[in-house]
Structure 1
Amino acid sequence: MKAAVILYDGFSSLEFSTLYEPLAKAALNAPGLLQCDICSPSSEVFDGYGLHYYPTRMTTSLQGYDILCVPGGLGASKQSENASFLAWLATAREVQQIIVIGNGALLLAAAGLLNGHEIASPPEAGASLASFGVRPSAQALVLDGPVLSASDIRAALELSQAVARSLTLGMPLRSISGASGAALPPTREATAERKTAETNITVCLNLDGSGKHQIQTGLPFLDHMLTQVAVHGLFDLQVNAQGDLQIDAHHTMEDVALTLGLAFQQALGDRTGIVRMASAEVPMDDSLARVTVDFSGRPYCVFQGVWTLPSIGGIPNTLFVHFLESLAQGARCNLHAIIQYGNDDHHKAEALFKALGRAFCAATRLDPRREGLIPSSKGVL
C-alpha cells in the first residue's frame, strides 16, 4: 500500500507532521505493509513560515497511490487557485482513502476530489467549500466513505493515529471516535497483575508492538527467554516480578507465566478476527524446536523434549514445562511445545521460546477476511 503526503508552498509543518509521523512509524514497524512518500510537483517547497522542505518524490502524477494525505496551511487558499497544482492533485482520483486537515480541504475540493462529501471544516473555510459542492460540517472529525477529515490539529491527532492503527492491524477504518459516535479500532493492549503472599507480578503487553521489552523477574535466564518471545513475536512487553526466590524459582516461574497468559487473554478480548491457530519451527545451532498454538479458549498443554542437565541458568528444567502449562492456563490456549532434538540445553530452551514468540505472533494476527467474525464454527471461543 502506498501513501502520498502532499506538500505545497504555504503548508503547515505542524499539520504535515501530524499526518506523516504515524504513517511513517506504521511503515517502519511493518516493513512491506506501507510505503509513505512526501510528494510535490516541485523539487523544493516552503511552509507557511519559510521553512525549506525537499519532497522525497517529485512526481508528475499521483496515480498508483492508495492513500492521499493533505495538510492545511496559510497557503492553501492561494494554491486552490493554482490551476497547474490542482491538475496535478486531480491525478489522485483513484486513491482508496483521502485524509485531510483543516483548510487543506480547499485544495481537494478545488481539484474535484470532494464532490458531495461531508467534510470537517474550519469556520472560515465553510463557504468556500460549499461553493465546490462540499458539505461543510461543524464536527471536529468526519468519516464520509473514503474521506477522513479533521477541522483542526487537535482533532487530526486522533485521526492520524486511528489511520495508522487500522493499517497496522489490517482493518479498514470504517468508524472514528467523534465522527459518528463510533469507536476507533480497539487497541490490543493489556496490563495484568497477580499479587500473592509469594509473588507480585505486573505484565504490560501490546500485541501490535515492535518487540520493545523491559523484563525484570529476578531470574536472568527467564528474562532472556521472555526477551526472545517479545523480540521474535513483535510484542511490546514489560514484565516486573518480585518473588520468593530465597526459597526457589517455582512460584516466580509459575506466576509470571499465569500473568503473561492473562495479559494475552485480556488483549485478545473475544478473539474476533484473529488467525487463531499457528505453528512455528525454529533452529538454534544444534537444536530444533516447534510450537503449535490454538487460541481456542480451552487451556491444554503438551510438552515433548529431553533435557541433558537438571537445570539451565539456575532454573530446574522441570519448571520450563510448568511455565508452559501455566501460560496455556492463563491465555486459555491449546499449546504444544516440542524439542525435536539438540545437544545443548541452552540452545534447546532458546529455540523453544523463539518458536513460542513466532507462533503466538502468527496466531494473534488479525485476518482481514474475518473482519467482525469469531474464528469458530460455534461462533464463540
Structure 2
Amino acid sequence: MAQPPDKKPQPEKPSSPRPPKAPRRMQIPLPFTVGSFSSVPSTERLLTSVLSGSPIILCVLDSQLNIAYIDGKGLDELRMAPGQLVGHPLFELLPDSQDIRRLCDEALAGNIARTIQRFREKVFRLAFLPVIHQNASVSGVILVATDVTNREREQALEPKPHPSPPEKDLVLQVTHELRTPLNSVLGFANLLLRSKETQLNDQDRFYLERIIGNTNHLLQVIGQVLDLSLHTAGKLTHASSSEDLRVVLEETLGELKGLTWSGSVTIVSQVPDGTLPVKTDRVKLKQILVNLVSNSLKYTSKGTITVSVHTDAQLRPVRIDVTDTGEGIPKERFKAIFEAFDRGTHNNDRMIEGVGLGLSIAQTLCTMLGYTISVNSEEGKGSTFSIHLVPLPTPL
C-alpha cells in the first residue's frame, strides 16, 4: 500500500500583538473640523437646548488653540454672536496669560484643568478638557466657560465667618484638656468618701469634702469658660426636643445638691399641674437654671430660692423665674451684671466664689434658644431672674 505523503506541518501563525490599552481618561467623542461640529441628531438637539438655556460658553479648540466651534448663551453677556470667533485664536476670547496657556497645555497633555477667570466685567468658571480619540491621541481642547458673576456677587454679600484667633483656640483646647484630670480627681475623692472599707476620721472627711467641693467648683468654672469661648468662636450649637419642665427642674436641683451652701437656705420648685411640655434644648436650659440658682446661692445667706414655672391659660410654659431672698441688686447695675467677669458687689465680708461668667453665659444661652432674660430686684429684699420662653409683647 502506498503510504500517504507526509503532511508538512503548517507553520503557526504568529499571534497578533494586543494593542496597548489606552490610558483611562475622559472620552469625549467629538470629531470636528474647523468651522463645523458633528454629532448624532438627538445629541445635537440636547446640546443646542443646553447651550441656549444655560449661562455657559462651549468652545472647541484645535491643537494650536484656534477656535473650531463656539456657542452658548454666555456669549450674549459678552455681546458676541455664535460662530463669530471660529478660526480665530483663543486669546481673542480670553486674556492671553500664562495661567490660561498653562491650563491649555494641561488639557493637551490629557488632563482636566479648572480655574475662575474675570474678564469683560464678568466672572467665569473655566474647565479645560482634552479631546481624546480612540487611539488615545489628544487632538484638541474643549473649553466650558460658566458665567458665575451673579453667584459671586451673592457670596460677596453674605457675611463671612471670622476665623477664631489662635488664643481662642488655645482656650478651647486647654479647658477641654483640664476636664479629664479634674473628673478623675473628683471620682477618686468620692470613692474614698463613700468606701466602707476606708477608715476616715472627721478631719479626713472634712478634707475630702473640701476636695470634692472645690473640684466641682473648678469644673463649673472651666465649663463656663469653655462655653463662652465656643460662643465667641461661633462653635456653640444646640438641639431641640420636647421636655417636661417638672422633670427638668427636679434634675437640675438634684445636681445642685453637690454644691456647698448654708443649711439656712432652702431651694424649692413650683410647677403648675398639667403644664404642657416645652420644645427646648434640655442641656442648655438646665445650664441656664444652674447658673441662675448658683448665682442666687452666692448672694443669699438665709431664706429661700424658688424656681417657678408660669404658664398661659392653655398651660403652655411662658416664663421661668428664679427668685431669692438675698441681698438684692441696685437698679443701676441691672445691665452690668450680665457682662462677662462682673462679680457684682455684696453687703458683707463674705468671699464670693466664681469669676463672674454665670449670668453672662446664661444670657448667651437664652439668646441662642430664642429666649430673653430679665432681672427685677430691690436692695435688701432679694432678686428675681426671669427666663421668658416666648417673645415679650412690644410696648405701644
**Greater relative CO, 1 or 2 (CA 8 Å, sep 6+):** 1
Check whether TM > 0.5: no
State the TM-score, normalizing by the size of structure 2. Answer: 0.27
State the TM-score, normalizing by the size of structure 1. Answer: 0.28
Greater share of residues in strand: 1
The structure with more radius of gyration: 2
